[in-house]
Amino acid sequence: MSHDQILSFEEIIETVKFAVEHGVNKVRITGGEPLVRKGIVELVAGIAAIPGVKDLGMTTNGILLGRFAADLKKAGLQRVNISLDSIDPEKFKEITRLGNINAVFEGIEAAKSAGLYPIKINCVIKSSSLEPDAQAVKSYCISENLQIRFIKEMNLETGQFSVVEGGDGGHCASCNRMRLTANGDLKPCLFTDLAYNIRELGIEKAYLNAIQNKPACGSINQKNQFSNIGG
């Protein structure tokens, strides 16, 4: 995605502000990896300053969290979700393409020190939370007083998703979430082709369309990949 396609912080904050004025009170910054975005602490501060934001979290791979945790907390971030599918260094490196698991452990400790609680660990599983890697992550979480959530591997094109074990994601009947993508699409559901761009339609029209057309249940998405909608 070219730089001029990516929303500015001002556009993100204005969109969140409009949403909060119309009932939203929980915001999560995700990615991709949000901590690689230049000025991320300033974005957090801008969102935290919006009256009515009661819950501000972030989903991160944790690799850069050691560097940013304290500043993020000061800026107004309340809690973090950290993706961790294995605690085996070699498997972690294979899954994340050269990631250093020690950096994640350091990030978790930094999040603890900063008071970014609760710290939730997102662990992707193939089919069962009884898989050896998943159980090893669970044992680590218990020893470190972290909350564990198991998320079954998803597929947009086949509509494969399920309820999050240990969390509230995946419950279509109670879902009231929307996703704002990096290029300004408001998606009422990840598992649908529907998207309403705030630059093309304006924030109000895009928001209202997304709310009014939110599907009762997710199905398939043939227009996106997780890499471009922040899965």
What are the chain's domains? 1-153 (3.20.20.70), 156-231 (no CATH)
Q: Which two tokens stand for residue 24?
A: 């939203």
The pLDDT, as a whole number, for residue 116 is 98
pLDDT exceeds 70 at position 12? yes
Mean pLDDT of the chain: 95
What pLDDT was estimated at residue 98?
81
Residues 103-124: pLDDT tens digits?
A: 999 999 999 999 999 999 999 9
What mean pLDDT comes out for the span 71-86?
98
Asked whether residue 159 carries a pLDDT value surpassing 70, the answer given is yes
Average pLDDT over residues 203-214: 97
pLDDT for 227 beyond 80: no
Question: Lowest-pLDDT range, 8-17, 75-84, 166-175?
Answer: 166-175
The answer, yes or no, to whether residue 100 has pLDDT greater than 90, is yes
pLDDT at 231 over 80: no
To the question of pTM greater than 0.75 for the whole model, the response is yes
For residue 31, name the pLDDT band (cuts at 50, 70, 90).
Answer: confident
